[in-house]
Amino acid sequence: MPSAQWSVVEEDDRVRWRLDPLVGVGPLRFGMGYEDVVEALDGCVEPSSRSTSHYGQVLSDDFFPPHSSNSPALTVYYDAERLVCVVVNALRGPQVALDALSLVGRVPSELEADFAEYTMSRGYDLRYGLYGDPGSEALGIVLRAQRAGDVVLSRPIFVAPSWAERCGDTSEGRIPEAEWRDRHW
Which residues on neighbouring strands pair with residue 24, listed in sequence order?
Answer: 20, 29
Let me know if residue 135 belongs to a domain. yes
Which pLDDT belongs to residue 177? 86
β-pairing, 16-20 with 95-98? parallel
Let me know if residue 182 belongs to a domain. no
Let me know if residue 57 belongs to a domain. yes
pTM of the prediction?
0.91
94-129: per-residue pLDDT in tens?
A: 999 999 999 999 999 999 999 999 999 999 999 999
Has residue 13 got a pLDDT over 90?
no
Has residue 140 got a pLDDT over 80?
yes
Number of structural domains the chain divides into: 1
Q: What is the largest CA-CA distance in the chain?
A: 45
Let me know if residue 184 belongs to a domain. no
Looking at residue 73, what DSSP letter applies?
S
At residue 35, what is the residue type? E
Q: Nearest Cα to 122, choosing from 3, 24, 21, 8?
A: 21
Full residue range of the structural domain in which residue 74 is found: 4-175
Which pLDDT belongs to residue 126? 97
Let me know if residue 180 belongs to a domain. no
Q: How far apart are CA 73 and CA 94, in angstroms?
A: 7
